Structure 1
Amino acid sequence: YISWKNRENEINGKMHFFITHLRVLAISDLSLKDIINVIGEKRKVYKSLGDEIRKISILSTQWKLPLARAFRFISDRTPSKMLRDFLDRFSQSLVSGVSHREFIEQEQGAVMEEYKTMYESANENLTILNEVYVSLLISIVFVMSFGLVLPMIMGTTDMNTFVYGSALALLIAEGLLLYLLKSMMPADEIWPQTGEKSETEKNLYRLLFLSICSSLMIGLILFYLKFLGHQPFNLLPGEILVSIALTPLIVPGIKTFLEEQDIFRRERNFLGFLPALGSISAMKGGKINESVRYLSEKDYGILTPHIRNLYKRLSTRIDDDAAWEWFGVDTCSNYIQRGSEMFREATYAAANPRDVARMITENIRKIRDLRLKKHAIIKTTVSLFLGITFGIAFSVYISLVIAQRLNEIWLEAGQPFENIQQINIGAILTTVPPQIYSNMFIVVFIVLIIHSFLLSLTIKELRGSHFLIVFLYFVPMVWISSITSFVVQTFLGSYI
């Protein structure tokens, strides 16, 4: 079932690119069978949707099944309702004798509106799910905090059941949140999905490697100095030392975030570049390379160096398809990569460059506006997650410090009521070995580290960002947990 739902989400998330690709190829000289074959070969970028189209291609070319029957056959077996309805309508129109160009022209707007409705509904569900998540965490944290004090008043020394059980429930709840959001939100990746890595992405991985080495080196040095008893390292708690050691990991996260801001700027400039390219190419009789040369002399801001690199590759006349593909990869934008690839394929098949550029630009602009709305909601979600991290750390550490102090008081008092037979004080007050509380501080901090990573991964999935952006949120959350632990133990512990 999980695999089925994941495939459905993947297909729905690619429908806007699919219908755009279908539309621009439909105005070319390609037949419908050729169009299906072209899209079916794009399995890397279309993923599960590409697999479904590939099946249609195999049924029509190898098994000689009419396209109308192939559409109906796949529609009965696809997990996506959106794709199922589209293929059913397509099959019926072909049987009725309607031209595929006419059908696709009419259906493009309907599919895009359906995708827009699904995207906006997912944005609304994100807000609702955040509220449900907060309510669930409040109850879990209450159980964890209560479990730290409960053993002393229940006559048992076993607090592991409450703490470990509530910690496991916390992590399971966050894992379910990650899965629900991933299955609920349409896939909207920022970076290209071709499998090729640009020089920018390679530099990010090199920076990650250096950051990991720095973190390991700093961690080993800090804990070695603490072990030897050097001041002030021996005075710092282990939580602070771990946070200091993890701090270099934020560097690739920041760099990835800044690069994604540049990607958004390139996409905005691309929406001006592509229509200009289409218009000039139409005036020049479809001469794309000459049009690119002309536009490479213009100023398109942050996109200008990439346009000039595109012209340099095209001027070599080695492989125009690869030149356009690397144009998208170098910009690090999935929208630019997909848009430029569609433009190249459609114009190569003798489609009107002006019409192709207009269709691609209109659809990308619609989806980009939806992404901007989603990112506005995600900013609120990030603030919520940071506040949740502080709230969990503060409430659990306060309960832990209070329980530890009460346990110390009762241990110092001994058994003052042991000769009073009328009161079974042992059933009311029970002491716990002090070492258990020392272990609990470590357990709680480990749980908070895992909690921080899961929430950071959730933010990454919501944004559709590169994996390295996880560290941009993970490191601050770990710092929030460690500083909260230090402040609570230092100030509240000394006050009590």
Structure 2
Amino acid sequence: MSETSTGTEDGFGAQTRQVRAFFDSVLESYERMPMPIRRYALTVLAPAGVFFLVSLAGAVALPFPVLVRIPVFLLGVLIVAGAVLYPRLLVEEQRRGLENQLHLLITHMTVLSTTNIDRVSVFRQLGREEEYGELAIEMRRITQLVDTWNQSLDDACERRARQVPSKPLADFLDRLAYSLSAGQDIDDFLLGEQNAMVQKYITVYESALGNLEVMKDLYLSMILSMTFAVINAIVLPILTGTDATMTIGAVIVLFVFVQLGFYYVIKTMSPHDPLWYVQSEYRTKADRQIDIALYGAVALSFVLVCVLALGTAGVGSLGLAVRGVMLDTPVPLLIAAPLTPLAIPGIIARRHENRIKERDEEYPGFIRALGASESAKQSTTTAVLKTLRTKDFGVLSREIDRLYVRLNMRIGPTRSWFFFTAESSSYLIQKFSEMYNIGRQMGGRPKQLGELISRNMNEIIKLRRQREQATVTLIGVLYGITASASFAFFIGLEVVEILASFSTQMNLDQLEFGQLIYAGVYDIPFIEFLLALIILFNALLSSLMIRMVDGGHKANAYLHFVVLVWIGCASAVMTSSLAGALISV
């Protein structure tokens, strides 16, 4: 008995410590804000508190059903919670910015440390890489402490380690400061740090994927619960006589809040590992094809929407003809049809993404062979590529051949490698090629650079395969949720229509039972339109979630959006048709 009570006390104590640690982190985040705490309290916290009191008063005093008043109260809670936790969210955003590309920065630092530049110049060079975001800012702060305040590099690293919100970065800077103060060369330390860095990155990446699995199950449970709430909001007014439109609209707002919350959480938890190399200086063939398809698809969708608008208004001969077709077409299909062209840019982007993945698979072998050949032959990159271009590197062979042609035409190495990375459209190829090129120009050993880059990229490719499996699972779950939720929504609406028809046929208003069924509180066409809007919003957020987890091109979201809309609308139409057939039988 004592052991059980001790275990319970330990569990309660652990939870208490976690809560206390969370509140401490919130208070600490206020001190890190660029805005003074007093000013933030007056401009943000006070208005949020007033809004909460107004929403609380409205939830208590408004003569609306409970299902309507709950979202009003929750909106006030959401505003206050957002205002209170916003500084904590800012610190969390900064922490993610520091940790998202830490593995790339350490690899880049290792490459630079093996060249002929001094160790402060390594940090100075990394500070110029704007793609590293918060990490580049942190590198500039370290060099500023060295240049402006005349501190040693190890003291500057140790000082920044105490102030950064990221524990992995703080630990790395602490170890680096200790090694430098002990007299160890920075290249020896970083080369020894590579294995530890890769293992930590693998642990963090797999942990993020595991968290996404948990969130997927939680999301499934919450959406099923909200689907049940929507069904209740559809069916209950026929028994209670409350305003059905207002009740359903309020539950839809609550449904939207839940999905927005999960979208933000999934966006926060998804590992930062983009697939595409995005740059505006040079428009590749893939970029042009996707842009043309996107503009054409949007224009075609706009034309279809205008045609449907003419049909709705019944303007002109075309409008009258379209109106005749629209009267016989279910509302969900009328909503899904104009959106279908948006799938075209998604299909094109998906095709190019498959080729990018194939290039990523071939690149480690290419860069390892390039580095080893340059070291063995003691020759230039151009001379080595003359031989390597004849080897089979799959879909990467074309880019390798064009790289050789540009270098052979005396185009500068930096510019030639830029076109190579731009045409490959791969984010990893761009980053690692830039590291290799800079390392070679600054006197680094090609074989060492090639092996280092190849090993790190192979590890990332393995993690991407796990991410791809998690994405496929998430897609299946979201598609299934969309179909089942749409079926549940419209089967509830069909039940209401059946009861309303039963009330009319039996003429229950003249009987004592008339007060049991309130068919007059429903505006069936408008409620059907609201349910179709739920399908649209669910498809929008679900497609954005898939894109966040997938890490691919933004056009992928268009493809999943169209598919999800059609799944939801087709399920709604089939449900209505099946219910109508059962009634007729």
Q: Same fold (TM over 0.5)?
A: yes
Q: Does the 8 Å contact 2:535/2:569 carry over to 1?
A: no
Q: CA, structure 1 residues 223+325, in 2 after alignment: closer, same or farther (shift >3 Å)?
A: same
SS of corresponding position for 1:38: helix
**Partner residue of 1:165?**
250
TM alignment of 1:307-346, pairs within 5 A: 307-346=400-439
Q: Does the 8 Å contact 2:234/2:492 carry over to 1?
A: yes
One-letter amino acid matched to 2:211: N
- Which structure ranks higher in relative contact order (CA pairs < 8 Å, sequence separation ≥ 6)? 1
**Partner residue of 1:431?**
519
Deviation at 1:224, TM superposition (A): 3.6
Range with bigger deviation, 409-418 or 326-335: 409-418
One-letter amino acid matched to 2:533: I
How many angstroms apart in 2 are the aligned matches of 1:287 and 1:34? Answer: 25
Write out per-residue CA displacement over residues 120-165 of structure 1, whole angstroms, 9 at most, x where no aligned residue: 1111121111111111111111010011111121232x12443223
**Partner residue of 2:381?**
288
**Partner residue of 1:442?**
529
TM alignment of 1:189-228, pairs within 5 A: 189-196=274-281, 197-222=283-308, 224-225=310-311, 227=314, 228=320
Aligned with 1:402 (options 471, 495, 500) = 495
**Partner residue of 2:179?**
93
How many angstroms apart in 2 are the aligned matches of 1:102 and 1:269? Answer: 29
One-letter amino acid matched to 1:358: E
How many angstroms apart in 1 are the aligned matches of 2:475 and 2:95? Answer: 27
Aligned with 1:469 (options 556, 559, 563) = 556
Q: Does the 8 Å contact 1:190/1:465 carry over to 2?
A: yes
Q: How many correspondences in the alignment?
A: 488
1:254 aligns with 2:347: yes
Q: CA, structure 1 residues 405+101, in 2 after alignment: closer, same or farther (shift >3 Å)?
A: same
Aligned with 1:103 (options 185, 189, 194) = 189
One-letter amino acid matched to 1:8: R
One-letter amino acid matched to 2:117: L
Write out per-residue CA displacement over residues 172-222 of structure 1, whole angstroms, 9 at most, x where no aligned residue: 222222221221122000011555443311321121001111122233335
Q: Does the 8 Å contact 1:59/1:70 carry over to 2?
A: yes
How many angstroms apart in 1 are the aligned matches of 2:454 and 2:93? Answer: 29
How many angstroms apart in 1 are the aligned matches of 2:563 and 2:100? Answer: 31
One-letter amino acid matched to 1:24: V
How many angstroms apart in 1 are the aligned matches of 2:416 and 2:264? Answer: 37
Q: TM-score, normalised by structure 2?
A: 0.80
Write out per-residue CA displacement over residues 326-383 of structure 1, whole angstroms, 9 at most, x where no aligned residue: 2111101011111110100111111110110000000000011011011012111101
**Partner residue of 1:492?**
579
How many angstroms apart in 1 are the aligned matches of 2:419 and 2:145? Answer: 32
Aligned with 1:184 (options 251, 259, 269) = 269
One-letter amino acid matched to 2:254: A
SS of corresponding position for 1:432: helix
TM alignment of 1:344-493, pairs within 5 A: 344-416=437-509, 426=515, 428-434=516-522, 436-493=523-580
Deviation at 1:286, TM superposition (A): 4.7
How many angstroms apart in 2 are the aligned matches of 1:431 and 1:225? Answer: 30
**Partner residue of 1:33?**
120
**Partner residue of 1:9?**
96
Q: Does the 8 Å contact 2:278/2:425 carry over to 1?
A: no
Identity %: 26
How many angstroms apart in 2 are the aligned matches of 1:56 and 1:414? Answer: 83
Q: TM-score, normalised by structure 1?
A: 0.93
**Partner residue of 1:78?**
164
Range with bigger deviation, 184-193 or 63-72: 63-72
How many angstroms apart in 1 are the aligned matches of 2:214 and 2:300? Answer: 40
How many angstroms apart in 1 are the aligned matches of 2:518 and 2:509? Answer: 13
How many angstroms apart in 2 are the aligned matches of 1:480 and 1:309? Answer: 44
Write out per-residue CA displacement over residues 48-106 of structure 1, whole angstroms, 9 at most, x where no aligned residue: 22222222233323443321222123222222211111111111222222221221122
Q: Does the 8 Å contact 2:371/2:449 carry over to 1?
A: yes
- Structure 2: runs of 5+ lacking an equivalent: 1-87, 315-319
1:274 aligns with 2:367: yes
Aligned with 2:140 (options 54, 64, 75) = 54
Aligned with 2:129 (options 34, 38, 42) = 42
Write out per-residue CA displacement over residues 237-281 of structure 1, whole angstroms, 9 at most, x where no aligned residue: 232122221111111101111111100111111111111111111
How many angstroms apart in 1 are the aligned matches of 2:505 and 2:165? Answer: 66
Q: Does the 8 Å contact 1:278/1:355 carry over to 2?
A: yes
Q: CA, structure 1 residues 194+26, in 2 after alignment: closer, same or farther (shift >3 Å)?
A: farther
Range with bigger deviation, 191-200 or 325-334: 191-200
One-letter amino acid matched to 2:355: D
How many angstroms apart in 2 are the aligned matches of 1:96 and 1:240? Answer: 71
SS of corresponding position for 1:28: coil
One-letter amino acid matched to 1:383: G
Q: CA, structure 1 residues 402+169, in 2 after alignment: closer, same or farther (shift >3 Å)?
A: same
Range with bigger deviation, 191-200 or 367-376: 191-200
One-letter amino acid matched to 2:111: V
Q: CA, structure 1 residues 17+286, in 2 after alignment: closer, same or farther (shift >3 Å)?
A: farther
Aligned with 2:107 (options 9, 20, 24) = 20
How many angstroms apart in 2 are the aligned matches of 1:311 and 1:397? Answer: 61
1:130 aligns with 2:216: yes
SS of corresponding position for 1:124: helix
How many angstroms apart in 1 are the aligned matches of 2:381 and 2:144? Answer: 33
One-letter amino acid matched to 2:537: I
